Structure 1
Amino acid sequence: MRRLSILAIVLIFSSVLLTSCRQEAEKETIVKEVEVEKQVKSPEEADEREGILERTAKKVDTEVNKEIDEEIEKIGDDN
């Protein structure tokens, strides 16, 4: 009986030692570089993405710039 208990203790002790000393497998991290191609958009596609306010503001800016240029021409060059 004593031999059996000693044998059981040795088996339990050795199994605990062997399982606790195992090294876990290291995980690999793989990083891949990906190139992203720039998409060239036509002016029509760019206009479609803009809202009504942006398109209206562009038209107003061009009209105001024309009026400013006309006033500058009326004043003339003082030099």
Structure 2
Amino acid sequence: MKKIVAIATALSAAALAACTPAAQNETAQAADQIAADANATMGQAINDTNAAADRAFGSAEATMDNAGAALSNAADKAADKTGAALKDAGNAIED
């Protein structure tokens, strides 16, 4: 993108040498507008890319959080069942 702006600026400078002052001014303004448009487009592309990355990372984080919660719940249930089985075994031995 910077190459396009540089080429446009170089062409504008070459054209300016053969023009009247009014035409030179208009050409310079057009070159400035091209550069501003290119910068705005690049800025928007960066913002869009950052937003997409944030959404992707947020989704991955939520998925990992949910998986961690599911594992934790399964481990808690297994520990509860093991504890209950040990209590039942202990009660059976006492009787």
**Fold conserved between structures, TM > 0.5:** no
Greater C-alpha Rg? 1
Q: TM-score, normalised by structure 1?
A: 0.37
Q: Which has the higher helix share?
A: 2
